[in-house]
Amino acid sequence: GAGVSQSPSNKVTEKGKDVELRCDPISGHTALYWYRQSLGQGLEFLIYFQGNSAPDKSGLPSDRFSAERTGGSVSTLTIQRTQQEDSAVYLCASRSSGGETQYFGPGTRLLVL
Amino acid sequence: GENVEQHPSTLSVQEGDSAVIKCTYSDSASNYFPWYKQELGKRPQLIIDIRSNVGEKKDQRIAVTLNKTAKHFSLHITETQPEDSAVYFCAAGPTSGTYKYIFGTGTRLKVLA
């Protein structure tokens, strides 16, 4: 079946611009996570959605970062006034209710010039 | 806060030798410990996982061991092959009162032919 998809696969933007990254989770998965992976680094937790519950935003690095999940499915991660240090791969993962395994999307590679 | 330490950060082995990667976690509430393999430019993919009620799990050339008392878990790859070359991440979770999983910083494994 279809896995987690993300778009765009690559995004180049200028410092100060806003960007939106999209994640389509596996159909029926109620949990959705966003992570940031800087070059050669591990996976940094950003935000977590579970069904209709309030999201866990504890990993967002600044108020320039926000995310929403509409209709319990697609999620959008928005970075406002991008900075060069925001350059990274942004990974999305989804998990079924009651399951433990997170399934990752291919990521969006963001480059801020 | 919650933390997962992973060692070594890089590991080179000769083809056919074994590779061992170790992780230590801090949150005693964690009860699920997955390992992901990430090839260059690809998404992380689950290769094996273990739950806290089990001490060891094996799948062909891959095995994982868990010591809950010491909060240690390890990945063992036997008879390594060049296609095992990748970055491996461990994770522990969920953390107390949340559905967050904390990832290690990754181990870059190189299998030399």
DSSP character string of B23-72 = EEE--TT--EEEEEEE-TTS--EEEEEEETT-SEEEETTEEEEEETTTTE
| Closest chain B residue by Cα to residue A90 | B43
Q: What pLDDT, on a 0 to 100 scale, did the predictor assign at position B98?
A: 79
Spatial contact of A14 and A62, defined as CB atoms under 8 Å apart: no
**Mind listing the pLDDT tens digit for each residue in A36-75?**
998 877 899 999 999 888 899 999 999 999 999 988 799 9
Q: Distance between CA B75 and CA B70 in Å, rounded?
A: 16
d(CA A101, CA A110): 26
pLDDT tens across A75-110, in order? Answer: 999 999 999 999 999 999 999 988 889 999 999 999
Q: How far is B84 from chain A (nearest CA, A)?
A: 18
Please answer yes or no on whether A42 and B105 come within 8 Å at the CB atom: yes
Residue A1 clears pLDDT 70, i.e. is over it: no
Interface contact flag, B49 A100, Cβ < 8 Å: yes
